Amino acid sequence: MKRYLTVFRASMQINLAYRAHFLFLLLGNAVFIVVTWFLWKSIYAGREILNGMSFERTFTYLSLAMSVFVLLQTWVEWGMSQRIISGDIVIDLLRPLDYMGLMVSDILGFVAGNFLAIALPSFLIVVFAFGMPVPLGLNLPLCLVSLALSFIINFSIDFLVGNLGFYTESTWGISITKEVIVLSLSGALVPLQFYPEAIRRALEWLPFQAIYSAPINILTDGGMGIGAMLKTLGAQAAWAAVLVLAARAAFARASRAVTVNGG
């Protein structure tokens, strides 16, 4: 027990060193939430419902979606790109460790920090400062499961994109394109209900909204029964499995070129 306390103490000390870092990320997110509130209040301009969504629902959704985005933002594709460009990737490939697993365990602590320092406080701000109703029940732990699956989906996409680093040095272009696609197609900036019907239906076939709407709906949609929640989790799990396999396959293929040709 004492050993765990020591480890905990040590990691807390490290966290204190990063306090400024988390403070600004949290502040940035808090400002976003405030801006979102004002902006959408103006957009609604007193109207009750827009495209089937109330102001409360829209505001809650967009605020939480951005919080999830910040939570999951790990810049994995940047890290991979740098190591590929510098050639250090060869060291990683030579290790008898699974590269993807290595990356996951590397950033898991970081994401946990993000959760405690940014996502959780943001959620509390939305609920208490703005008085948004959130049901309390089984949806809370299931939401955490959903977030874990969101992490896997998002990470796999980042990892897939990171593989492009084997083919080009243009990291920024790739990363921003990925970000634009993920944000637009997942309804994180404007809820999907505002999109034309046809596009919306097409987007539901893509994994992007599975990252954001799944955990948020589970958390906030009072009308969602256990069955519906489990169905959502199931869909996420399916996407997670597909994307993990795709990412691993892409990596195996891309890295083979390096090991065969030698950097």
Partner 1 sequence: MKTLAYYTRIYFLIVSQYLKARMQYKADFWISSIGMVLQCLMGYFTLWILFHSIPALAGWRYEELVFLYAFSLLAISPASIVFDNVWSLRFHIQSGAFIRYYFKPLNMMFYYMSEMINIKALTQLAFALVILATSSISLGVRWDLPTVLALLGLLVSASLIMVGLLVLSSSAAFWIVNSYSLLNFFVRMRDYARYPMTVFTGFFRIVFTFVIPIGFVAFFPSQAILRPAEAGWEVWLTPLFGAGLFALSYLVWDRGTKAWSGTGS
Partner 2 sequence: MPIIEAKGLAKHFKVLNRREGLGGAFRDLFSRDYRCVKAVDGIDLSIEKGEIVGFIGPNGAGKSTTIKMLIGVLEASAGTVLVDGFVPYKERSRYVRDIGVVLGQRTQLWWDLPVIESFKILREIYRLDAKAYEENLGLFKELFSIGDLLAKPVRNLSLGQRMLCDIAAAFLHDPKIIFLDEPTIGLDVEVRSKVREVVKRLNEEKGTTIVLTSHDVGDIEELARRIILIDGGKLLYDGLSERFLGIFGRFRTLRLDCRALEGDPRERISEALAEAFPDQGGPALGKSEGSWLDVVVNQDRFALADVLSFLMRKFSFADVKVEEIEMAEVIRKVYEGALR
Note the residues at the interface with partner 1 (CB under 8 A): 18, 20-25, 27-28, 31-32, 34-35, 38-39, 41-43, 45, 50-51, 168-170, 172-177, 180-181, 183-184, 189-190, 194-196
**Could you say which of partner 2, partner 1, none residue 13 binds, taking C-beta under 5 to 8 angstroms by partner kind?**
partner 2
| C-beta of 85 vs 245, nearer to partner 1 | 85
Residue 32 or 130 having the CB closest to partner 1? 32
The Cα 184–Cα 126 span in angstroms is 22
Minimum CB distance to partner 2 smaller for 9 or for 47 = 9
Q: Of all helices (H) and strands (E), which one includes residue 49?
A: strand 49-50
- Residues 3-62 binding partner 2 (CB under 8 A) are 9, 12-13, 16
How far apart CA 245 and CA 47 sit, in angstroms, is 46
Partner that binds at residue 16, options partner 2, partner 1, none, CB closer than 5 to 8 Å by kind: partner 2
Contacts of 95 (CB under 8 A, 6+ apart): 102
What does the alpha-carbon distance between residue 69 and residue 84 come to, in Å, rounded to a whole number? 25
With contacts defined by CB under 8 A, how many residues of the chain interact with partner 2?
4
Hey, what amino acid is at 19? Answer: R
Whether 77 and 171 have beta carbons less than 8 Å apart is answered as yes
**Site residues (vs partner 2, CB under 8 A):** 9, 12-13, 16
